[in-house]
Amino acid sequence: MKKVLVLCTGNSCRSQIAHGYLELFSAGKAKIYSAGIETHGVNPRAIRVMAEDGVDISAHTSNHVDEYRDINFDYVITVCDNANEACPYFAGNVQRFHHNFPDPAKATGTDSEIMQQFEMVRDMIKAYTRDFADKYLGS
**Measured distance CA(48)–CA(132) in Å, rounded:** 24
Spell out the residues 6+ positions from residue 133 whose beta carbon is closer than 8 angstroms to its own: 22, 25, 26, 30, 139
> Could you confirm whether 13 is annotated as catalytic?
no
Q: Which of 5, 8, 50, 76 is catalytic?
A: 8
Q: Which of 2, 31, 40, 87 is catalytic?
A: 87
Q: Which of 17, 55, 80, 137 is catalytic?
A: 80
**Measured distance CA(100)–CA(89) in Å, rounded:** 19
What residues act catalytically?
8, 80, 87
